[in-house]
Chains A and B, each alone.
Chain A
Amino acid sequence: MSFLQDALAILLVLGGTFFMLVGSIGINRLPDFFTRAHASGKVDTLGILMFLSGLAVFEGFTLTSAKLLLIIVFVAFTSPVAAHALARRALLYGMKPWYGNRKNEG
């Protein structure tokens, strides 16, 4: 049982680290502000959620894991709001999105 718990915790923490790394790579690779907001708003959220739930699994049923669950809930609710606030400001400021190189443009 303890072995399974540790294995699950390690898997979740590794997965979370992977997604946070991919989020950072995405911020560097993607072409413009709005697509970068996608990378930071979604991939990073998933990474943090997996990381924290891995820590909660490692702790087991204690007060600490309850606190971690609380952090998970708050991150899940506030992270998209932050991404939306940044993107909205950018749009209202007049930043033009990147539309790619399409062939069938009128």
Chain B
Amino acid sequence: MCKVVLATQPFLFFNRVFPFSTMNKTSLWLRHRGLILQIVLLSAIWLILSGKTDPIYIFWGVISIAFVIWLSGKLHSIPLSKDEPCGSTRIIIPRLITYLFWLVWQIIKSGVYVAYLVLHPKMPIEPMIVRFTSKQPNVLARVILGNSITLTPGTLTLDIDDNLFTVHALTQEVEEELVSGDMEARVARLYMRECEREDMCCDIELITSGRGR
């Protein structure tokens, strides 16, 4: 009887006995991707900061990494906002890498742009507050978008309330660039396969004088 079961389901049996075998590798990677990446990154940081490969340093490193992973595992169960756990959707890694390169370019552009505004004799700024809603797939995407808005030229995130973003913009040009929805779509594409640029930025409200508030 047992032999028949083994013959018909050798695959399942094999997986049950050796859960970390090569057959299971793809699903193991998919299920624990965050954990594996975390271990690799933390080990790299530990090795760079200590710079020594003596057994005692490695030993303390392993203990510290295990402690950090235990702590952050507890953090994952705390919802960032109302009944929405953090990191429920998985990020697309190749897009994250291209996004980081784009972000570095934006940092350079924004520094040069604000430096130009500061050094210009007449200082051609017309500050305004822009409010818009952007439907991002999850909490982490909203955090990334808020951080990126601050890094892109002439804009500074003031507040994020659910889907409502309050942004301080230095000039008219950067405000137009912001509400075009380009960056919002870039951030949303980190998590979703497809999204339309027009959907990402709606209900735009400009506040250009003190009476509007």
Contact = CB atoms under 8 A, between A and B. Distances in A.
Interface string A12-41: 000000010011011001101011011101
Nearest to A76: B107
A91 B210 contact: no
Instruction: Give the interface size class of chain B.
Output: 35 or more
Contact of B107 (A22, A37, A49): A49
A87 interface: yes
A92 B115 contact: no
B156 A99 contact: no
Interface stretch (B2-10, B67-75, B146-154, B185-193): B146-154
Contact of B210 (A23, A67, A92, A96): A96
Nearest to A80: B150
Contacts of A88: 157-159
B204 interface: no
Nearest to A104: B208
A79 to B, nearest CB: 9
Interface in A58-98: 63, 66-67, 70, 76-77, 80-81, 83-84, 87-88, 91-92, 96-98
B127 A70 contact: no
Name the interface size band of chain A.
35 or more
A46 interface: yes
Given A37-B156, A91-B158, A99 B127 contact: yes
A92 B114 CA distance: 25
B34 to A, nearest CB: 18
A22 B115 contact: yes
B156 A34 contact: yes
Given A22-B118, A25-B118, A97-B168, A42 B209 contact: no
A105 B207 CA distance: 11
Contacts of A67: 48-49
Contacts of B183: none
B52 to A, nearest CB: 10
Contact of B127 (A25, A34, A105): A34
List 6 A-B pairs, minimum CB-CB distance, nearest first.
Answer: A46-B111, A80-B150, A26-B118, A22-B115, A63-B51, A66-B48
Interface of A: 19, 22-23, 25-26, 29-30, 32, 34-35, 37-39, 41-43, 45-47, 49, 63, 66-67, 70, 76-77, 80-81, 83-84, 87-88, 91-92, 96-100, 102, 105-106
27 contacts: A19-B111, A25-B118, A26-B115, A29-B123, A34-B158, A34-B168, A35-B170, A37-B156, A38-B114, A38-B168, A42-B110, A43-B115, A45-B151, A46-B111, A46-B112, A46-B115, A49-B107, A67-B48, A70-B49, A76-B104, A84-B147, A87-B168, A88-B157, A88-B159, A92-B159, A105-B208, A105-B209
